[in-house]
Chains A and B, each alone.
Chain A
Amino acid sequence: MRYPGRAPLGPVDLVVEPGEILAVIGPSGAGKSTALRLLAGLERPAQGAAAVADPRHLAFVFQAPTLMPWADALANVALPLELAGVDRGEARRRALAALVAVGLGDRPDARPRQLSGGMAMRVSLARALVTEPRLLLLDEPFAALDSVTRRRLIEDLHRLWAARAPRPAIVFVTHDVEEAVYLAGRSVVLDAATGRVASEHQHPGSLPRPPGWRAEPAFRTAVERLADALADAMPGSGVDA
């Protein structure tokens, strides 16, 4: 991929196993979000080609909730189904079930401006899950939330992921090392200068995480290792300060 005025990025080689949670981590400007958008077919590469995932089995969650302000939560969640031609009653029924799953079953008629940032992001998540995608792409979905809300949403995401059979694959972009280790089974680090995969890290433990796992030495070690790898991928790394 190539942007005017800067060196081309990539190629980014990502293999995602079915049911896997993969974190894509890297410094700002390494092309994490762009890689994700290319994968979803939301953007086209200026040069070269992107292997695009099948849109029928794909869902995308943006950094902002990206809800229609004039529609209530239920209508927002039902949108993908209604666009796909599912009849209104059926779409609304499934949308309500998705809202219940993210803990907002009592707020179907709330407008986005009546919802907190965390709740709006839950609606966004429900909208992504309502189509029962096989691949869920998340572009720093928790970056704008406070830490308590963020942790709660991460637990919910694990719970929703584990409850589905078969489990969907999740690829999420983040610049938060702890979030990557906690949420994902594996991380890839993108290099700031080249935009290619600089390193790959398998995280210990099983998903979803047991309570208190953030205090475990295994978690701390993995976080430190990933933080070092991220520092290596920063622009100007290897140059003495």
Chain B
Amino acid sequence: MSRLLPPLLLSLLLLAVWEIACRSLQVPAYFLPPPSAVAVSLVERAPLLAGSALQTFRMALQALLAATLIGGGLALAVSMNRPAERAVRPLAVALQVTPVVAIAPLVVIWSGLDHPDRAVVALAAAVAFFPIFSGVLTGLKSAEPDLERLFDLYGASPLQRLVRLRAPAALPFALEGLRVAAGLAVIGAVVAEFVSGSGATQGLAWRLLEAGNRLRTADMLAALVCLMAMGLALNAGVALLERRCRALLA
């Protein structure tokens, strides 16, 4: 409770300042509506926003799953073979440094213009891929060198080494990667929705666009609040998973 109190108080203070400033300065609602208007929008549009949030959440989660399977699997395969790692790593970095906004239009075309949801999942997975790949690969090689030597000494098979040494050593790194990837997956999903620009996905980004086009700023901010809450929830979920695993391991 004492940990939650300071940020809560600060948020309330900022909201109060915002509300008072909007009213006393008579700021136009299309420019900056007061928090009370945003709250009204949140309540009025709750069913719509909840549906959209669920849609975006589902796509981000699918992307996270795909990124985990592909990134984790590739890291595992590459960790067994040094030349393969040297070959793959620069490509993975290239994918990571390419701005997702820049590749979004391409992915939208490739996924088929009638399937923006596929583009959203693919793009979100593309941005979530690197932290998982990098985390798992680093983790698989993080075991204490003398423990590796001990496994040499006792003639461990590659599978025994993986299951009993490298995988447990990699788990904390993989979870750290997953946490970063979860945040990125949401960003990727929203960017892809923006770029695809059609209402077919019906996610939160679409609510944002739609409200923006109509200059309904309070509705925009309400969608933004939902997006923020979703990101926090996802982050908290992965953090919880991380803590559970750490307790199990250490």
Q: Which residues of A contact B (CB under 8 A)?
A: 37, 40-42, 55, 58-60, 62, 64, 66, 68-71, 79-80, 82-84, 111, 113
Contact mask B127-158 → A, CB, 8 Å, 1/0? 00000000000000000101101111111100
Q: Please determine whether A70 and B154 come into contact, CB atoms closer than 8 angstroms.
A: no
6 A–B contacts, CB within 8 A, in A order:
A40-B153, A58-B153, A60-B150, A62-B146, A66-B150, A70-B250
Within 8 A of A (CB), among B5-27: none
Q: Please determine whether B153 and A60 come into contact, CB atoms closer than 8 angstroms.
A: yes
Assembled-state Cα–Cα distance A37/B146 (Å): 11
Q: Please determine whether A111 and B151 come into contact, CB atoms closer than 8 angstroms.
A: no
In the A-B complex, list the 6 residue pairs whose CB atoms are closest, starting with the nearest. Answer: A70-B249, A83-B154, A66-B146, A70-B168, A42-B149, A80-B154
Interface check B164, CB cutoff 8 A? yes
Q: Please determine whether B154 and A41 come into contact, CB atoms closer than 8 angstroms.
A: no
Q: Which residues of B contact A113 (CB under 8 A)?
A: 250
Q: Please determine whether B156 and A83 come into contact, CB atoms closer than 8 angstroms.
A: yes
Assembled-state Cα–Cα distance A69/B160 (Å): 17
Q: Which residues of B contact A71 (CB under 8 A)?
A: 168
Q: Which residues of B contact A80 (CB under 8 A)?
A: 154
Within 8 A of A (CB), among B157-173: 160, 164-165, 168
Assembled-state Cα–Cα distance A71/B149 (Å): 18
Q: Which residues of B contact A (CB under 8 A)?
A: 144, 146-147, 149-156, 160, 164-165, 168, 248-250
Q: Which residues of A contact B164 (CB under 8 A)?
A: 68, 79, 82-83
Instruction: List the A residue with the shortest CB-CB distance to B144.
Output: A66
Q: Please determine whether B144 and A41 come into contact, CB atoms closer than 8 angstroms.
A: no
Q: Which residues of A contact B168 (CB under 8 A)?
A: 68, 70-71
Assembled-state Cα–Cα distance A49/B91 (Å): 40
Assembled-state Cα–Cα distance A113/B155 (Å): 27
Q: Please determine whether B250 and A111 come into contact, CB atoms closer than 8 angstroms.
A: yes
Extra pairs beyond A55-B153, A79-B164 (19, CB < 8 Å) = A41-B152, A42-B149, A55-B155, A62-B146, A66-B147, A68-B147, A68-B165, A68-B168, A69-B250, A70-B168, A70-B248, A79-B150, A82-B164, A83-B151, A83-B154, A83-B155, A83-B160, A84-B154, A111-B250
